[in-house]
Amino acid sequence: MSIIKTIINTQSDNFVENRDFYSERIKDLHQRRHRAHAGGPEKARKRHTEHREQILPRDRIRLILDPGSPFLELGELAGDNLPEGTQAGASIITGIGLINNRQCMIIVNDATVKGGTYYPMTCKKHVRAQTFAIQHRLPCVTMVQSGGAFLPEQEGIFPDEGMFGSIFVNQIEMSGQGIPQIAIVMGSSTAGGAYIPALCDEIVIVRGKGFMYLGGPQLVEAATGEKVGHEELGGAEMHCRDSGVTDHIAEDDAHGLNIVRDIVRNLGNLPTQRWDVAESVEPLYPIEEIYGLINKDTKVPNANREILARLVDGSNFDEFKANYGDTLMCGFAKIHGFEIGVLANNGVMFSESAKKGAHFINLCCQRDIPLLFMADVPGFMVGEHAERGGIAKDGAKFITAMCSAKVPKYTLITGGSYGAGYLAMCGRPFKPNAMLSWPSGRSGIMGPEQVANTLATVREDILKREGKTWTEDEREEFKAPHRKRFEDSEDAYNFASKLWYDAVIDPVETRETFALLLDLAGRSPKVDTKFGVFRQ
């Protein structure tokens, strides 16, 4: 293996300034997480624990997981600051953890947030969790306590693909594929929400707390004139003894979670790991040094080779075609013993970079080696020379190879990722297994300054046609709001809030996060790759 030798002076003024700036970003990340983890307001949490005598959603997760199990959360910051009114987390918690040594997708309604009702982002987050579960054949454990759809947001919840109905579609798809689904009804499960547990393989319901009905007592009275209580209409005794909708009665939350653990224990053989996993070796350089390698000034490229040296086992990187197309680094490395093919940007994408990347992806698919796209790219090269050289054709080769590849694919946005470069480095439309970003990640059609300059140039052309001019101050005044708008739009937290990223992670969490993801992928069946047409 080839060891990456660092040339960074960690005592330099530039390194220290970058490190201190990034440390503040990390504080901001943890503050955002704290806000998401809190759930609803204090009043709602108190009502949940004292009045209802129930366990808080995140405590339920801790109880159901094996002691010491990690919890890889997806969509942690989804819904944060969205105008529709959801708050960080989008009233649902989704993530992967171990139950009786089996990796499971856990989906938990947070009743402390608007009664656990479904907003548009709640639906999107639930569907995303199911998609991940299908991709990795993970059993789904759903803790149900939801008031159903938030009615004022009907148009974002009800009519289209990817909304509430897609939750049912995915459940039926998983059932057909033999992917286990278990529900525990811990509170009200109303209307369409009652079908979520009803479509599961086994259902646990908590006595006196859990209720399932297509219409609650108020709706039944309004529609039929019948007066009926919650227990008679949809309680545990009725559903376990009369309707047969549910299968197990629990006396309280903790009892119900133990029943679910027993159900998971009886799911059959654990899936085996299809890859050989080497002994994990720490990088030669502290991973915390990444804070000083990410430039405070976003116009300055990051030292991505140095960053890679602090992420991979032993800082070993067997580079492929090192002297050709060097604005894209390709090579083989290990993360906690898992082999992975790395594609990391080192500048603008040229034809040579794209052709090398397509070749490397082909090799990884032949060898069943997962791919990691470390995106920090301003885009593809433009201009007459590039066009005559076939940049569109060669870029298409790379995109075709990336899209066709059926090995597990992961995207990590470390810096700016723009235009076709964002797409080619396995952007969200190309369905990577997981799409992650560091707080420094930025994604958009082009950078904020380029957007502002482009729009200013268009405005200048209009003024010229009208026989008018403007001053530099007027030009800057015109550019400022456009620059600010795109800075906000391209921010990692905006992408995370809309679930365009699965998570924003601290750079020091990167190795453990990818080890978990790779372990999941290695326990799912291999899928053969069939490449599309490569234009020559």
pLDDT of 218 > 90? The answer is no
Question: pLDDT value at position 1?
Answer: 62
CA–CA separation, 114 vs 117, rounded Å? 6
Q: Which residues of 233-261 are buried (b: 16+ CB within 10 A; e: fewer)?
A: bbbbebbbeeeebbbbbbeebeebbebbb
Q: Are residues 338 and 471 in the same domain?
A: no
Question: pLDDT value at position 152?
Answer: 87
CB 523 within 8 A of CB 273: yes
Q: Are residues 61 and 139 in the same domain?
A: yes
Q: Is 533 helix (H, G, I), strand (E, B) or coil?
A: coil
The stretch 184-205 carries a mean pLDDT of 94
Q: What is the pLDDT of residues 222-256, one digit of tens each?
A: 889 999 999 999 999 999 999 999 999 999 999 99
CB 444 within 8 A of CB 495: no
CB 80 within 8 A of CB 87: yes
Rounding to the nearest 10 degrees, give the CA dihedral for residues 472, 474, 476, 480. Answer: 180
CA–CA separation, 533 vs 400, rounded Å? 8
Q: Which of 266, 277, 275, 264 is nearest to 138 (CA)?
A: 264
Q: Are residues 287 and 372 in the same domain?
A: yes
CB 330 within 8 A of CB 340: no
The better pLDDT of the pair 27, 536 is held by 27
Question: pLDDT value at position 219?
Answer: 83
CA–CA separation, 198 vs 247, rounded Å? 10
Q: Are residues 355 and 470 in the same domain?
A: no
Q: What is the pLDDT of residues 144-157, one digit of tens each?
A: 999 888 888 999 99
Q: Are residues 88 and 53 in the same domain?
A: yes
Q: What is the pLDDT of residues 29-62, one digit of tens each?
A: 999 999 999 999 999 999 999 989 999 999 999 9
Q: Are residues 426 and 304 in the same domain?
A: yes
Q: Which of 134, 132, 138 is nearest to 172 (CA)?
A: 134
DSSP 201-236: SEEEEETTT-EEESS-HHHHHHHH-----HHHHH-H
Q: Are residues 254 and 355 in the same domain?
A: no
Looking up residue 310, the CATH number of its domain turns out to be 3.90.226.10
Question: pLDDT value at position 183?
Answer: 98
Q: What is the pLDDT of residues 368-421, one digit of tens each?
A: 999 999 999 999 999 999 999 999 999 999 999 999 999 999 999 999 999 999
Q: Are residues 63 and 150 in the same domain?
A: yes
Q: Are residues 61 and 77 in the same domain?
A: yes
The percentage of the chain sitting over the pLDDT mark of 70, rounded to a whole number, equals 99
Q: Which of 213, 238, 265 is the last residue of a domain?
A: 265
Q: Which of 334, 184, 362, 157 is nearest to 258 (CA)?
A: 184
The stretch 447-473 carries a mean pLDDT of 91
| Token pair for 425 | 């480095």
The percentage of the chain sitting over the pLDDT mark of 90, rounded to a whole number, equals 89
pLDDT of 27 > 90? The answer is yes
The stretch 200-218 carries a mean pLDDT of 94
**190 — pLDDT class (breaks 50, 70, 90):** confident
The stretch 154-165 carries a mean pLDDT of 93
| Number of folded domains that form the chain | 3
Question: pLDDT value at position 160?
Answer: 94
Distances (CA, A) of 202 to 65, 127, 158, 198, 455: 18, 20, 26, 9, 57
Distances (CA, A) of 536 to 390, 396, 402, 436: 10, 10, 17, 33
- Side-chain half-sphere CA neighbours of 80 within 13 A: 28
Phi–psi pair at 346, nearest 5 degrees: -140, 40
Phi–psi pair at 115, nearest 5 degrees: 65, 20
Q: Which of 270, 435, 275 is nearest to 370 (CA)?
A: 275
Domain holding 480, by residue range, is 446-489
pLDDT of 95 > 90? The answer is yes
Q: Which of 265, 285, 301 is the last residue of a domain?
A: 265
Question: pLDDT value at position 142?
Answer: 98
Question: pLDDT value at position 84?
Answer: 67
Beta strands in 337-399 (DSSP E): 338-345, 371-377
| Token pair for 138 | 């993970």
Q: Are residues 233 and 355 in the same domain?
A: no
Q: Is 297 helix (H, G, I), strand (E, B) or coil?
A: coil
| Token pair for 9 | 């002076």
CA–CA separation, 132 vs 520, rounded Å? 10
Give 385-403 as a 3 state SS string. HHHHCCHHHHHHHHHHHHH
- Residues forming a β-bridge with 504: 437
CB proximity list for 332: less than 8 A, separation 6 or greater: 317, 318, 320, 339, 340, 341, 342, 369
Q: Are residues 432 and 382 in the same domain?
A: yes
| Token pair for 293 | 């390698």
The stretch 208-228 carries a mean pLDDT of 89
Q: Are residues 348 and 459 in the same domain?
A: no
CA–CA separation, 322 vs 328, rounded Å? 9
CB 129 within 8 A of CB 141: no
Q: What single letter denotes the amino acid at residue 327?
A: T
Question: pLDDT value at position 103?
Answer: 98
Q: What is the pLDDT of residues 109-144, one digit of tens each?
A: 999 998 899 999 999 999 999 999 999 999 999 999
Q: What single letter denotes the amino acid at residue 309?
A: A
Q: Which residue has the tokens 């803790």?
A: 143
Question: pLDDT value at position 85?
Answer: 61
